[in-house]
Amino acid sequence: MLRILQFLYSLRAFLLFVLLEVTAIWLIVENNSPQGAAFFNSSSAIIGSALKKQSDVADFFSLAEANEALITENASLLAALEGFQTIPDSIAIELDSLLTATYEFKGARVVSNSLRFSQNNLTLNKGSKDGIKPGMGVFNHEGVVGRVKTVSVNFSVAISLLNTGMLISSKIKSNGVFGSVNWDGNDSRHAKMLYIGRHVNAQVGDTVITSGFNAVFPEGISIGIISEINSNKDNPNYLDILIALSTDFSKVGYVYLVENTQFDELDSLNIKSEVTNEF
Amino acid sequence: MNFKSLITFIFLVIVLGLIQILLLKNLALFGIAFCFIYLVSILSWPTSIPAIPLLLLGFSLGLLIDVFYDTLGIHALAATFLAFLRPHWLKVISPSGGYDDTTNPTISEMGIGWYISYSWPLIFAFCLLFFLTDQWGTGRFLTALNKSFFSSTFTVLLAIIVQLLFFKRRRGI
């Protein structure tokens, strides 16, 4: 018995090494499981505020660009508003539940972002006290950015579209064929569009937008433009489509968050009918 | 190891950690060369430090960096591996006559050639494990290898510059 203990004692460094590595692997697995609660991440108060201080300094240098983007955004909103301004007449439209807004929008600033790894995340400066909830969609004036994963009181962490585990329900704008956009981990400007059948007549230059099926994003938010179409070697039934993302992830500074107010109802319906929903 | 050098090393850990988190987090030359300068603080502890404190240091430092990188566990995994390899690698490349008890594995004491042969393989092992874990399941081994090679070279280069600029030369040499 003593000799076993002596033997173990002589191996103590190696045993500690194994223990620490197992802990680290457990943390990685736990943190990457979609339902797992993430305790240590950048949405905690101290780390979030440190990252915010850093981005306070860094963002100062891109203010001019941010202003320009806001002006363009305002202009397009004004143009859209023009269509809604009706000529006053005597017919009154009754408001009922059919006309309630399904989507609510909020704004936030990105305090930390990564794009070089295969699992990229963003930290936003709004948290549960501003009404941010896990599952909200994140986009900016250019296109889709990601989806909120965890929320603390003052900060939230979103999974970036540049994350190999993220699928976004999307469709080709010109013919309405839908598939899923998934990042292949290659470079931050391109992603793959999956599950587009061989028979589909897709063209290079077609726009890819969100489909609105997923209940996270409203229909019609830009994702990218098809830049390459090849035949798929692994699965000849589908096309291998490469899209150039419309969002420049290296410059994501301010984002909008969108919440589907009917998400719970849709989700429980999906669970009842055993449909797995993608995001 | 006396109290003064302990304070110096803790200071080094904090400063390099802050530089890593605040400046180098979003830096990647050409999209492949990352810099993990905080590893220098693990690499420059004296050669006489026992394996267990070194492992604990590597793990906790990695975990701290992870929290800021939002890559929970990956830095910790790789940094613990680096801390585990360090004593073995030091034994392999020990100069004739071995080390003094007070030897610090730094450029000012061991010279630049020795330092490269000491740090590059260790940092390469760190990077390889880091990028393999990061890309786990995507099956892109060559990208990981590519990134590891350039990241470790870049990190060693920066480590040498940091040491030449900021580490005190010993006994007025």
Containing domain of residue B98, as a range? Answer: 3-172
CA distance A159 to A163: 7
Show which of residues 132-171 on chain A sit within 8 Å of chain B, judged by CB atoms: 157, 164
As beta bridge partners, residue A226 has A243
Query: CB–CB of B76 and A24 under 8 A?
Result: yes
Judge whether A261 and A104 are in contact, CB under 8 Å: yes
pLDDT score recorded for residue A92: 61
Query: CB–CB of B55 and A121 under 8 A?
Result: no
Tell me the chain B residues in contact with residue A185 when contact means C-beta distances shorter than 8 Å: 135, 138, 140, 143
- Count up the domains in chain B and report the number: 1
Region of B58 please: left (phi>0), alpha (psi -120 to 50) or beta. Answer: alpha
Judge whether A108 and A255 are in contact, CB under 8 Å: yes
- Backbone torsions φ then ψ of B89, nearest 5 degrees: -65, -40
As beta bridge partners, residue A158 has A122, A148
pLDDT score recorded for residue A239: 86
* Ranges assigned E (strand) in chain A: 103-113, 119-124, 137-139, 144-151, 156-163, 167-172, 178-182, 190-194, 207-210, 222-231, 239-245, 254-260
Residue whose entry in the numeric block shows the structure tokens 């983007």 = A69
Six-digit token string for B156: 């060693």
**Closest Cα in chain A to B27:** A116
CA distance A262 to A243: 30
CA distance A58 to A112: 10
Domain harbouring B58, CATH code: 1.10.1760
CA distance B24 to B142: 24
Could you tell me the domains of chain A? Answer: 45-79+100-162+252-259 (2.40.10.340), 167-250 (2.40.10.350)
Instruction: List the single residue in A28, A185, A188 with the smallest CB-CB distance to B135.
Output: A185
Judge whether A206 and A174 are in contact, CB under 8 Å: yes
CA atoms within 13 A on the CB side of B132: 12
What does each C-alpha distance from B41 to A204, A223, A230, B36, B73 come to in angstroms? 50, 42, 48, 10, 19
Q: In sequence order, which residues have a C-beta less than 8 Å from that of residue B4 and are 6 or more positions away?
A: none
Six-digit token string for A164: 């190999």
pLDDT in tens, A25-48: 888 777 765 444 455 566 667 777
Query: CB–CB of B68 and A187 under 8 A?
Result: no
pLDDT score recorded for residue A36: 45
Longest CA–CA span in chain B (Å) reads: 52
CA distance B160 to A105: 49
What does each C-alpha distance from A15 to A6, A11, A19, B55, B75 come to in angstroms? 13, 6, 6, 11, 20
Q: What is the mean pLDDT of each run of 10 residues along chain B (173 residues)?
A: 77 86 78 85 82 87 84 86 87 75 75 85 90 76 85 89 75 44
Tell me the chain B residues in contact with residue A112 when contact means C-beta distances shorter than 8 Å: 25, 68, 70
Residue whose entry in the numeric block shows the structure tokens 């090494």 = A17
Residue whose entry in the numeric block shows the structure tokens 């050098």 = B5
What residues in chain A have per-residue pLDDT under 70?
Answer: 32-44, 82-83, 85-101, 276-279
ipTM for the predicted complex comes to: 0.76
CA distance A72 to A76: 6
Six-digit token string for A168: 């976004």
Instruction: List the single residue in B67, B68, B80 with the smallest CB-CB distance to A20.
Output: B80
Does A45 lie at the interface with B, CB-CB under 8 angstroms? no
CA distance A52 to A46: 10
Query: CB–CB of A28 and B73 under 8 A?
Result: yes
Tell me the chain A residues in contact with residue B74 when contact means C-beta distances shorter than 8 Å: 24, 28
Q: Residue A23 is which amino acid? A: T
Residue pairs spanning A and B at CB distance below 8 A: 98
